Structure 1
Amino acid sequence: MDTKDLRALLKTDFSPEEAGLILSAISRLVNARATHDEGRELVIRCLDRRERFPDGLSMVLDGLVRSVGLLPYVAESRASTLEDQLLLEAHRMPIVGEKRVFHTLQLQIYRELVAGRNVVLSATTSVGKSAIIDAVIATGKHHHLAIIVPTIALIDETRRRLATQFGDHYDIVTHPTQITSPERETIFILTQERALTRKDLSLVTFFVIDEFYKLDLRGDDDDERSVDLNLCFHKLASTGAQFYLIGPHVDGVVGLASSYEYLFVPSLFSTVALDIVQFRLPRHGGQREDKLIELCSDLTSPTIVYCQSPHSAHDAASALLDAALFPLVPELDDAVEWLTFEYPSDWIVTTALKHGIGIHHGNIPRALQQYVLRAFESGTLKLLVCTSTMIEGVNTVAENVILFDKRLNNTSLDHFTFRNIAGRAGRMRRYFVGKVFVLEEQPAPDRFTVEIAVGTQGPNAPISLLLDLEDEDLTEVSRDRVKGVRDASPLSPETLRLNRHVSVDRQEAIYHLITSDLLLYHDMLAWTGMPRPPQLLGVCDLVFDYLDTNVLKGYGIFSGNALKASITRVQMSQRYREVVDNFVAHRRADTTISDGVELALRFMRKYLSYTFPRHLMAISHIQADIFRRVGLEPGNYGLYAAMCENLFLPAGLYALDEYGVAPETARKLGPGDFKTLDAALDYITAIDLQKTQLLNFERDMIEDMRATLRRKM
């Protein structure tokens, strides 16, 4: 029997005699180097059908499990010989209180890291790459470690896991307001942007970059973040710290060899098997929606539906709701009550959640994203409709993945991204065989090599990357490029470096405008602290005219004055609901209430809390550069930029959003200038929830957050 025949037979009610033939055939595959990986996959499929194998063949199956390195699947009760027991003990994870064991790939990587080697591990989602991090921390070899993750959502997921195991011994730092001490063991869990702003990472001796493929500049909207990730890697690695880069399967890495010694491990090792079904349905015409409804009516285990965008996720959820497949779920009533209080009741997210359908994408409030994931993990939700914001980086357990689209935003999925999404089906020790349903057509196989731009510094390397490197870290060609930009620009090298996220041309256009009438613009722009209304209008005009014209038009903002009004509305509103209602009331005629809700949420979280502060500070740096040169007192927008970043809440209260407590709830907790996350955590830990005017869901949010806090005293 060949591999295809064995897979087919394992899906049937095979007889005891056929069970023996199956194991015999798999044994031959496992014992041949060329077919070992195929043999491992078939062993996993046997475990999924273990009840079909007679007791007399159990020892044979266990022997195959051991021979392919899947030690976590060997129960200690079946380790019948001394040799078996020694093998399990050799694979035991070195974490106090843990009884888990490594599989062979995990043990290999762990030993390399403990030996002090740099490792780049490229492997499927299911292999448990994070467990190796935990084991390295448990050795106590490193007093200061950093874990760089791609999203704030993954910060909280990682924090929760590590706080449970190491919170009594390590300070866990996730937020810019948290202060560290060199004498205290510390684990930093940060995004690349946050890592670049910290001045206390010099003591880090071991760091991890999760989803390291994002170091590659792929020419898309994420290139700015990829530049930051390259700079973050360079900042940490150049100190001599050991690194462990982890991510899904790639074919190669370039840009490291000239500067660092490292071991690249591209592994096909997997702890789950995948069944992939293609339907090749057309994009338009309703057939995909019909097939989605058909699949979801049959599937009873946890299912993720991947969609290319929030709009597509709404379409998929609406199709399922219209099919009336999902009854009301009373366990979700408290969450629905809170959503109805804080947002219009017609929001698709609320309607879907009533019926047990979770929606997860970048426009959803962060605390709600975390709640939806927890409800999915616990089994309260069986269906999760999501975009790449959840697929890339957040670990969750599902048996089934349905690819509703074969695009990411408006770009066709490449094979690498497809494999990353498909890899979310199945999970070690939970679902042996993951099922992937591709409604359109699966992308053709291709190769993906990660190019680490800070190492290669090719001719097309972004100048924003090069401007932030020291002269000795630049190649000769890059040094000439940087010199050319600096020599030609009227702005100082320091301003260009601080403003690297803004194109040099746009910075220089603002420079020339300000210098055209120094006295006029000095009165308008040289402010510190809180701007007067004309001063805020002045910077909003610059932002609109020179930096964010097209972005702001997407929010229905067509002038600097309209931008000023939108910011002021957020600042003056007693509830964010007022901002949401205003966006809904003034939405375009061809859009839905849900579109209006999410446009408001996106404006507050992605624009006002992220893009606007960065561009505000870019203008601050430019005006300061100009006015200092001519002997005029410059302004400093740092305070106001921080207020915008925190949506005009105290920084500590707003930071609770990352721990699962929504800003809408945080602002109800009472007066107090909580300038740091730790101050807010101290307060919220001590507060008597029964004496607050919070909804049940809000109390549950806080209780859940409290349960994850184990802080070194």
Structure 2
Amino acid sequence: MDLVEVANALRESPADSGALLESALSALARATPLESAPPVGFTEVVARLLEDGGDVRDRPIFAALLREAGLFPYLSQADPSDVFDQIAIEAHTAASHIGGRKLVMHRDQATAFLYADAGHDLALSAPTSFGKTAIAHQLIRTNKHANILVAVPTLALLDETRRSLANCGEHYKIVTHPDQVPADRNLMILTPERALEMLPNCVFDLVVIDEFYTLDDARRRRLENAHDERSTTLNALYSRVAATDAQVVMLGPSISGLAPDVSPRLRRSFVRSESPTVHLELNRLDDPGERKRPARAAELVESLSDPTLVYASGPARSETVARAVVASRSRPERLDQSVDDAVAWIRENYGGGWVVADALAAGVGLHHGALSRGIARFMVRAFNDGRLSCLVCTSTLLQGVNTAAKNVVVVDQKLGTGEFDSFAFANIAGRAGRMGRYFVGRVYHFGVPPADSGRIIDVPVVSQGPDTPDELVVEVLREDPVSDDERQALIREELDAAQLSIETVRTNIGVPLPQQLALARRVRELNDGQLREFAWTTATPNTSQLTAITNLLWDSFSSAPTEDFFAIKPFISSVGQLRLRLKQLQQFGPGRGFYAAVFADQRAYAATKKRKEPDFGATIRDVNRFMRDICGYRIPSRLRAVESVLRPVLQEHGIPAADYRGYASTIENLYMGVAVAALDELGIPPQLIAKISPQLRGAQTADASYGVLRGLETGALSLTPFEREILDEAIGGLGGGQTTMNI
């Protein structure tokens, strides 16, 4: 029998794994050597033998198979007595100088780690189950770098990374918020926007960029017709750290190669591994059509006994799917008391009738971008530790947040409104199975998956091709225009005509250059009286100032390529509604009162127009998106851009300078203050933050709040069981606190 025949036999008759073991090893001996990709059928054979368990794992012949495969983590679990097995395990074990934790690595993982540990740049592409993150974390735990930056694409991944590296707090100050003050030795875990803010004051020895495929947003522009300023910002960050002596380690899944025009340094660092540690079993289902798919998926979920992720294209769609899964349940699922406690808390703090609470009460979790961070974090944690058997999710789980699922059901082959490509499908499918836990992952999908087109990553700031955003062209402009090419010369002329400096554009790197140019031209057309409406420095503008600045924001940044930049229709469809929502947030704070006020507005409007009752779940999604996206990033980032463009104009007119930092911070922190709002990023919901606010009195900075939190005795506080779990988990994720370091 060859390997494919053995794999087929194991698939059909798993009980015969012992009898097939000799055939498997014999077939392996005749197969292609393993120096490159494993031979067809090999991974499946190993995974199915591991899946079966039993006495197969204890047999020396199986240990030989694992050793040949380079799967030393699995070999170590078998407690091998063979001296060659012990030597192989020891040779692939990385010791840690922080926490004393040793990590047994598989062959390709160890090769990549040793390469990076020798000080080389590394751009690693490997399957989802490879253990890429473990390589970076083990590199950090060598404790030989004075200042480390870990750049992550989302706050959710920032939170997870901080928790994973919490034990490094005894050797580094862990910095995750721009309000924190660096120490002598720092481990900074930041989004690219925050990293750029901190970069001028820090010199890094090691820079880790997770999910580095986000450097190339051509795919998103093609699939979703959307501009991704995170990609532009990450390119600027890469350009600036690559110009230093820092070692750069980048990690990403399923990348075929790099574009021809990337730098030789980056090309030398690229390593691609196709060595999966689990086997993915793809199961195609007949597609009943978009409307009937949720019910069909729900029937499938009901028939599966292992933990199952269900992917849907967006927040509203995921809630529709969750309702279908709940409706299909033939018997109530017996829930852990902690899940019942979570349901009670959600209903108390958000009101009844929300599908998130109703689904959770039936044992079905939800995870999408319109959930508060605390609830989203609880859903993942409850799923991973077995308290929930089903988690319905969107693409929010795709960028590095770890889950432990045996099955993945792909309901929609879409990302938002854009179509899938093979990269997106592979990323979602790769969530099935987990190294050391679920050796065979099962993927169920409707219809034909996208054809494998490969994924070639461009780094636009390096390649400077025709699709490179204008602001990244400015990023590489030299002071001397002699070396400009035709496009650079044209952009320089536009900057000069608008009297917009190169430094200003670089400061506002995420803002599309056409919008910065239009803004510069617009403010230069204002007379002295109009300009004075923008010359304020307070943390809260007066009514006329608020009207002027919000009108300018709306008019300047709601054009291509970021149409509806501040809009969440129908929740916010005009600049007047934007001002109304800001005033309501200021009045009620980010708690139940805000949701209730908005819902009351929407009900009254629907009654006036004789329309149907609004959906309370949609209101919660809209309010959460408003607080997270519009207030948490979009308004503050554009306020800073307006201030930087206005500064020289006001100076020319002899008008005192504007300073919007206070107001930007007020909005960004949802009127709670930076010291309090920083706790939201730890997964503590605003409602719970309000409960512990007496303990936080006097804390003026994020560092001070974290210090207070570490000293809290949660058992002495008047909290619900759910609140205590959330708070204890957040405190545990902070790790040791350091404010000054002299190591």
- TM-score if structure 2 supplies the norm length? 0.90
Does the CA-based 8 Å contact 1:336-1:354 persist in structure 2? Answer: yes
State how far apart, in whole Å, the 2-side matches of 1:429 and 1:16 are. Answer: 20
- C-alpha separation in 1, matches of 2:275 and 2:43: 8
Secondary structure of the structure 2 residue equivalent to 1:322: helix
Match of 1:608 among 631, 637, 648: 631
| 8 Å contact kept, 2:34–2:69 | no
Q: Is the 8 A contact 1:581 1:597 kept in 2?
A: no
Distance of aligned partners of 1:341 and 1:257 in 2 relative to their CA distance in 1, 3 Å threshold: same
Equivalent residue for 2:179?
177
1:196 alignment partner in structure 2: 196
Which shows bigger deviation, 201-210 or 185-194? 201-210
Q: How far does residue 434 in structure 1 lie from its aligned partner after superposition?
A: 0.5
Shift of 1:536: 0.6
Deviations 1:329-362 (A, max 9, x none): 2431221122112212111111111111111011
Alpha-carbon separation, structure 1, partners of 2:491 and 2:641? 19
1:468 aligns with 2:468: no
Aligned to 2:551: 541
What are the within-5 Å matches in structure 2 for residues 352-363 of structure 1? 352-363=359-370
Consecutive unaligned residues in structure 1, runs of 5 or more: none
Are 2:477 and 2:484, in contact at CA under 8 Å, matched by a contact in 1?
Answer: no
How much has 1:222 moved relative to structure 2?
A: 5.2
Give 1:561's match in structure 2, choosing from 576, 598, 601.
Answer: 576
Query: How many angstroms does 1:259 deviate by?
Result: 4.9
Q: 1:504 to 1:235 in 2, by over 3 A?
A: closer
- Deviation string 1:254-284 (CA, Å, 9 cap, x unpaired) is 3443455733211111111111101130433
* CA-to-aligned-CA distance 1:444-481 (integer Å, 9 cap, x gap): 11121000111101123111222234517997355324
Partner Cα separation in structure 1 for residue 96 and residue 627 of structure 2: 42
Cα deviation for residue 417 of structure 1 reads 1.0
Match of 1:159 among 147, 152, 162: 162
Say yes or no: does 1:327 pair with 2:333. Answer: yes
Tell me the residue number matched to 1:686. 711
**Distance change (3 Å), C-alpha of 1:264 and 1:633:** same
In the TM superposition, what whole-angstrom CA distance separates every residue of 1:51-107 from its partner, at most 9, and x where no partner exists?
Answer: 37496xx21111011011100011366432322221111111212533431111111
Q: Which residue pairs with 2:597 in the alignment?
A: 582
Number of the residue aligned with 1:658 = 681
CA–CA distance in 1 between the matches of 2:36 and 2:589? 66
Counterparts of 2:80 and 2:57 in 1: how far apart (Å)? 18
- Going from structure 1 to structure 2, the CA distance change for 1:521 and 1:302 (only over 3 Å counts) comes to same
The residue aligned with 1:531 is: 541
Q: Secondary structure at the match of 2:345?
A: helix
Cα distance in 2 between the residues matched to 1:692 and 1:81: 54
What is the aligned partner in structure 1 of residue 138 from structure 2?
Answer: 135
1:82-121 alignment, distance < 5 Å: 82-95=83-96, 97-121=100-124
1:623 counterpart = 2:655: no
Instruction: Identify the residue that residue 314 of structure 2 maps to in structure 1.
Output: 309
Give the TM-score taking structure 1 as reference length: 0.94
User: Is contact 1:278–1:437 with CA below 8 Å preserved after alignment?
Assistant: yes
In 1: Cα distance, 2:414 partner to 2:557 partner: 29
Q: Provide the C-alpha distance between the structure 1 equivalents of 2:732 and 2:453, rounded to a whole number of angstroms.
A: 44
SS in 2 for 1:25: helix
User: After superposition, where does 1:257-276 map in structure 2 within 5 Å?
Assistant: 257-260=263-266, 262-276=268-282
Are positions 1:69 and 2:92 aligned together? no
Distance 1:413 1:245 in 2: 24
Is the contact between residue 202 and residue 239 of structure 1 (CA under 8 Å) also seen in structure 2? no
SS in 1 for 2:671: coil
What is aligned with 1:5?
Answer: 5
Which digits, 9 at most, give the CA deviation of each residue in 1:140-173, with x for residues without a partner? 3212111111111111111111113x22212111
Aligned partners of 1:367 and 1:660 also within 8 Å: yes
Q: Which stretch shifts more, 70-79 or 533-542?
A: 70-79
Picking from 518, 524, 527, the partner of 1:518 is 527
Contact 1:651 1:674 in 2 (8 A): no
Q: CA RMSD in A?
A: 2.4
Question: Which of 647, 664, 670 is the matching residue for 1:641?
Answer: 664
CA distance in 2 between counterparts of 1:623 and 1:406 reads: 45
Residue of structure 2 in register with 1:439 after alignment: 446
1:641 partner amino acid = A
Q: d(CA) in 2 for partners of 1:546 and 1:34?
A: 53
How far has the Cα of 1:135 moved from its partner? 2.2
Alpha-carbon distance between aligned partners in 2 of 1:563 and 1:78, rounded to the nearest angstrom = 62
CA contact (8 A) 2:258 2:456 kept: yes
- Cα 1:416–1:650, aligned 2, differ >3 Å: closer, same or farther? same
> Is the 1:37–1:269 contact (alpha carbons within 8 Å) kept by the matching residues of 2?
no
Cα distance change, pair 70–424 in 1 and its aligned pair in 2 (3 A): same
* CA distance, structure 1, for counterparts of residue 119 and residue 243 of structure 2: 16
Secondary structure at the counterpart of residue 36 of structure 1: coil
Q: Deviations over 1:216-246 (max 9, x none)?
A: 1222535211010111111212112111111
Separation in 2, partners of 1:54, 1:339: 45
Whether the 8 Å CA contact 2:302–2:329 is kept in 1: the answer is: no
Q: 1:700 pairs with 719, 722, 725, which one?
A: 725
Q: For residues 386-535 of structure 1, what are the structure 2 equivalents within 5 Å?
A: 386-469=393-476, 471=478, 476-477=485-486, 479-529=488-538, 530-535=540-545
Corresponding residue SS for 1:525: coil
Q: 1:340 aligns to what?
A: 347
Q: Distance in 2 between matches of 1:412 and 1:708?
A: 37
Q: Distance in 1 between matches of 2:365 and 2:159?
A: 19
1:206, 1:242 within 8 Å by CA — same for their partners in 2? yes
Change in 2 beyond 3 A, CA 1:712/1:651 = closer
Percent same amino acid among aligned pairs? 33
Alignment partner for residue 149 of structure 2, among 146, 149, 159?
146
Equivalent in 554, 560, 571 of residue 586 of structure 2: 571
Residues 490 and 100 (structure 1), Cα distance of their counterparts in 2 relative to 1, 3 Å cut: closer
Q: Which amino acid in the other structure matches residue 431 of structure 1?
A: Y
1:587-640: CA deviation from partner (whole Å, max 9, x where unpaired): 464652111111111111111221111222222223322111122222111100
Query: 1:360, 1:284 → 2: CA distance?
Result: 21
Aligned CA distance change for structure 1 residues 468 and 638 (closer, same or farther; 3 Å): farther
**Maintained 8 Å contact 2:589/2:671:** no
Contact 1:16 1:54 in 2 (8 A): no
Deviates more, 1:240-249 or 1:80-89: 80-89
Quote the residue 2:374 is aligned against.
Answer: 367
